[in-house]
Amino acid sequence: MVDPFLLLVAVILLAVAFDYINGFHDTANAIATVVSTGVLGPRTAVFLAAVANFLGAFLGTGVAKTIGGDIADPASITQTVVVCALFAAIVWNLITWYFGIPSSSSHALVGGLVGAVFGHRVLTQSVGASESMGALLTSKGVGKVVEGLILSPVMGLLLGFGLMLLLLWIVRRQAPSRVNHIFRKLQLVSAGMMALSHGSNDAQKAMGIVTMGLVGYYANHAASAPDWLDLAAWTERKELVVPAWVILMCALAMAAGTAAGGWRIIRTMGSRIIKLKPIHGFAAETAGAAVILTATLLHAPVSTTHVISSSIMGVGASKRISAVRWGVAGNILTAWVLTLPVTALLGGVAYLVLHELLG
C-alpha cells in the first residue's frame, strides 16, 4: 500500500509536468502567427509569450474551480484518479507534439479525468458502467467542456472571418506597404493578448487538478494533512479555493514550458494552414484572444488550440476558400475529434492498472 501523501506529491509533480508540457505544446497558439509573418524573431516571440502566459495565470481561478470541482466531487476521488488523469493527458500531449499536430491540452486533461473517474466508480463503488457514465455526463463541469468544445472553434472561425473582412474594408484604399507597416506594430499587441488569454485559461487547468488532488487527500486524511496545503476554505465552507502557492507554481511551470518553445507545432500553425501577412496574424490573434478571454470570464475551460486554429482558418477563408490548406486542417480536426475518447480510454486503463498494482 503506497503512502497517500506520496501519491499527493506525485499528483503535484505530474501537474507541474503537465503544465510545463502544455506551455511548450501550446506556445504556437500565441506566437506562430507573429513568427510566420516575420514581425518577431522566434526567441523574442517565445520570451513575450512566456511573460504574458505568466501574467495571465493570475487573472482568476474560475476555470480552475470548474476543472477541480465541477467534473467530479473532489472529496470522493482518490489520488490515483488524479495521477491517471494527468498521465493520460501528458502521454497524448507528447504524442501530438512529436508529430507536430496542434491538439487540445485542455480536452486531453478532461478526457483523462473522465476516464479515470469512470474506472474508479466502476471498480470501487459497485456501480454499473451506464450508471457511472450517467453520473459524469450530468456533471455541470463536463457540460461546460462539451459546450466549449463545440462553440469556441465556431466562434473563433466566425470572428476571424468577420474581423478580417472588416479590416480589409478599412484598409481598402491604403497601399500594401503601409498596411504591412501598421499591422506589424499592431500584431505585437495582438500576440501579447493571445498569450495573456492562453495563460488565463490554460494555467488554471493545472491549478484545478492540483486543488482537486489536495481536497481528495484532505477529505480522507485531514488529521495528518500539513498546514501548507492551505485548505481553510474547504474545511470551513466546503468551498473549492485555489491556494496561492498553487497559482504561483502553475504560473511558473506554464511560463517555463512556454520559454522552451514548441517549434514543431509552430511550423504547422504558422505556415501550413494558410500563408499569413501581418494583417492576417492580427485578425487571427485578436479573434482568438477575444473568444478565450470571454470563456475565462465565464469560467469555461476551452481549447486555446481549437480557438486560434479556427481563427486562422476563418481569416484564410475570407481571402478565398482555397487559401486554406484543408488537408492540414483535416489532420488537425482529426486530432480534435480523437482527443477526448483516446485520453478517456488512457485514463481508464491507467486507473485499472494502477489500482491493481497499488491494491
Please, what is the average pLDDT of the chain?
81
- On the question of pLDDT at 342 being above 90, the answer is yes
d(C-alpha 76, C-alpha 217), whole Å: 10
Q: What is the pLDDT of residue 340?
A: 87
- On the question of pLDDT at 35 being above 80, the answer is no
* Owning domain of residue 354: 4-358
- Average pLDDT (17-38) is 76
Q: What is the pLDDT of residues 291-309, one digit of tens each?
A: 999 999 988 888 887 888 8
- The answer to whether residues 314 and 155 touch, using CB atoms and an 8 Å cutoff, is no
Which of the two residues, 229 and 272, has the higher pLDDT score? 229
Q: What is the pLDDT of residues 79-122, one digit of tens each?
A: 888 999 999 999 998 888 777 776 778 888 989 998 998 888 87
Q: How many C-beta atoms lie closer than 10 Å to residue 99's C-beta?
A: 12
Q: What is the pLDDT of residue 145?
A: 74
H or E stretch covering 217: helix 176-221
d(C-alpha 282, C-alpha 301), whole Å: 24
- The answer to whether residues 208 and 67 touch, using CB atoms and an 8 Å cutoff, is yes
- The answer to whether residues 61 and 228 touch, using CB atoms and an 8 Å cutoff, is no
Please enumerate in sequence order all residues whose Cβ is within 8 A of that of 251, keeping only pairs 6 or more positions apart, or say none.
53, 54, 57, 58, 199, 203
Q: What is the pLDDT of residue 58?
A: 93
- DSSP string computed for 164-192: HHHHHHHTTTS-HHHHHHHHHHHHHHHHH
Q: What is the pLDDT of residue 260?
A: 76
Q: What is the pLDDT of residue 265?
A: 53
Q: What is the pLDDT of residues 259-288, one digit of tens each?
A: 776 555 555 554 444 567 889 889 999 999
Number of structural domains found in the chain: 1
Work out the pLDDT band at 134, boundaries 50, 70, 90.
very low
- On the question of pLDDT at 346 being above 90, the answer is yes
Helices (H) and strands (E) in the chain, counts: 15, 0
- Percentage of the chain beyond pLDDT 70 is 83
User: Could you tell me the pTM of the whole model?
Assistant: 0.85
- Average pLDDT (147-153) is 82
Look-up of cell digits 499527493: 8
Work out the pLDDT band at 350, boundaries 50, 70, 90.
very high
d(C-alpha 262, C-alpha 36), whole Å: 14
- On the question of pLDDT at 131 being above 60, the answer is no
Q: What is the pLDDT of residues 175-220, one digit of tens each?
A: 988 998 999 899 889 989 988 998 999 889 999 999 988 888 887 7
d(C-alpha 77, C-alpha 120), whole Å: 8
- On the question of pLDDT at 146 being above 50, the answer is yes
- On the question of pLDDT at 328 being above 80, the answer is no
Work out the pLDDT band at 76, boundaries 50, 70, 90.
confident
